[in-house]
Structure 1
Amino acid sequence: MADLRPSRPQRRVRYLSDEAVPIAQRMVVGSHLRAHRERLGISLKDAGMHIGASGSKISRLETGQHEFKAKDIGRLLDFYAADDTARQYLMELLEHANQRPWWQDWSDVATKQLQAFVSFEEMAQRIRTYEPTQLPGLLQTEEYARAVIEAGAEVSSPREIERLVALRQRRRQRFEEAPLHSKRLISVIDEVTLIRPFGNRGIMGRQLDHLIALTDHPRHTMRIAELSKPNLPVMLGMTIIFDFENRLLPDIVYTEQFDGAFILQEEKQVDGRVKAFDRLQNASLSHQRSAQRLRDLRKAL
């Protein structure tokens, strides 16, 4: 089989709305289809005409925004003259991509952008995160998560709140139960998120206890960005970097604003965010000193 490594998407920045959004498992299939097409110099329009579709549909297939039909993929692979090994591999990926994901059980409350995020989180081998306004979701206790969601503007009923809390806890459970080698979280924690409380004093105390316990877990690395340290390079804002095993996908950067989310996939943009994250991580307290700072904050609470 030819070396058809996933190529970079054509769009550099993708705004995630409640319309069609990319799903990681589909993106894997789409990136391989793009590599086959580009290897032969076939245009999106010509590929679409071969299966009786538009070039825009091929683009949506390649970027993971459209569900796959085995018949269409088979005809495209014929057109791309894919060999038997490549065909078998793509069809196995396709079967996995078309399976109903576990988070679909929360589709009544989870926005399309949240479902896209969970798909990246589910597939990533390493996650690097900096969130300046709250603790990362995978570090949150149930009651802290409830307080954060209640403080947000995106929910309107107690039922929605409890459903979203349950989804967040399910994400955390799956992350913690995954084989140790397959999941790792590197968190740069802004100290302000440890000082500005969500919920009440008891909730924050138990949240700190949880973080202290996680500092001994090999899956987790925590670095606290000190509030009192001048000139910390925190300007990158909310940044989550997803790294995928065996380069199934190129690295993806996810970032949120109040009214929406974006993913960055273009190599230069991703590299810039990674370097900014590394600068902040290196300027923050070490893992050991961060653990001590957590213990100090817990005593002072």
Structure 2
Amino acid sequence: MAKQLPIPAEPDDGSGQKAGRRGAVRYLQNEAAPFAARMVLGNALRHRREAMGLSAGEAARQLGGSPSKVSRIESGTFALKQQDLLKFYALYRITDPEEQARLYELSVTASQPAWWQPWSAVAPKYLQAVVSFEDMATRVRSFEPIYLHGLLQTPEYARALIERGRGSASGHDELARFRTERHERFTAEPDRKLICVVDEATLKRPVGSAEIMRGQLQHLITLTADPRFQLHLAPLNDYNVHVELGATTIFDFAGRLPTIAFAEGYDGGLVIDDEQMVDRRVKAFDALAASSLAPHAMKRRLTDMLTTGFYKK
């Protein structure tokens, strides 16, 4: 099940629940994970509850439910039913027709089957959460010190990584199709931006074959000219480049949600929306990007790797 990790304490609402959404750190493996569309609705309801001066426990008692249910609705791990939304209207005195319509539209969107539903049997829940964040975010910032970020990978590079993992050949085929769909959906949105710091070590760590790595380097060179992708290279042998941040992806939602950070592990992932912890990671990422090679310098380094035959034919 999801593990709640210790973080700086927040006020308790009297029922054992935290007073606000900001403060959660969850290690997810393969259990119900928060989805961004549900989180937008939950965030709006949380603001209404706080404006009423109600704790989550008090709201739950008046709604006739449990504090955990209110908490899961606000955190985006529970789909809100229409009859429950009407109860929230009454309790939070949401009488304005426009606000009711906006919340209703959010609830409809949040209850729609996700595009990745056909792959839910092969894509772990924490990865489904990440994809939902990608779908909702206007900007994604990421540093991956082991392998390239999934949205930067060529199909051949991705397939070689997938085949290293667990599962059957048919499962690997499905995951490869899932990766393709994920990439196509992200790049189809012209206003969405991915800012990546690529660790030079990941480019010198072979995946698949020399041919696959040459194709991957050429793909990254091409992406340096794409305005939707802003790439930086954290070079090896530079004492001013500090990579202690580790694997971190930061999702910005243009005000619809507070910024969320995610750190993927070997068999799960850490979803962080504690404000102070997210802020520290944002500052560390920005500092790393500033000290890394800019896109034009990265392009020269990648071209040198190709022309000098780092991955020989």
Tell me if structure 2 keeps the 8 A contact 1:128–1:185: yes
Higher helix share: 1
Tell me if structure 2 keeps the 8 A contact 1:12–1:266: yes
Match of 1:9 in 2: 21
Match of 2:239 in 1: 230
Q: How does 1:81-160 map to 2 (within 5 A)?
A: 81-84=93-96, 85-152=98-165, 155-160=166-171
Alpha-carbon distance, 1:105 to partner: 1.2
Q: Does 1:163 align with 2:174?
A: yes
Tell me if structure 2 keeps the 8 A contact 1:233–1:276: no
**In 2, Cα distance between equivalents of 1:236 and 1:201:** 29
- Quick one: which amino acid aligns to residue 86 of structure 2? G
- Quick one: which amino acid aligns to residue 178 of structure 2? L
Alpha-carbon distance, 1:289 to partner: 0.4
Structure 1 residues not aligned, in runs of 5+: 1-6
Tell me if structure 2 keeps the 8 A contact 1:50–1:76: no
Q: 2:82 aligns with which of 46, 49, 70?
A: 70
Task: Report Cα offsets for 1:87-125 as digits up to 9, x if no partner.
Answer: 111111111111111011101101111111110011111
List, as ranges, runs of 4+ consecutive aligned residues in structure 1 with deviation greater than 4 Å: none
Tell me if structure 1 keeps the 8 A contact 2:30–2:268: no
Q: How does 1:246-285 map to 2 (within 5 A)?
A: 247-285=255-293
Match of 1:210 in 2: 219
Cα RMSD for the two superposed structures: 1.4
Match of 1:244 in 2: 253
Q: 1:186 aligns with which of 188, 195, 199?
A: 195
**In 2, Cα distance between equivalents of 1:251 and 1:206:** 34
Task: Report Cα offsets for 1:209-231 as digits up to 9, x if no partner.
Answer: 11111111111111110012124
**In 2, Cα distance between equivalents of 1:258 and 1:99:** 30
> Across the two proteins, how many residue pairs are aligned to each other?
290
Q: Give TM-score, length-normalised by structure 2.
A: 0.89
Task: Report Cα offsets for 1:69-94 as digits up to 9, x if no partner.
Answer: 01101111111101322211111111
1:262 aligned counterpart, secondary structure: strand
Q: Give TM-score, length-normalised by structure 1.
A: 0.93
Task: Report Cα offsets for 1:21-61 as digits up to 9, x if no partner.
Answer: 11100000001111111111223233223333111111111
Structure 2 residues not aligned, in runs of 5+: 1-18
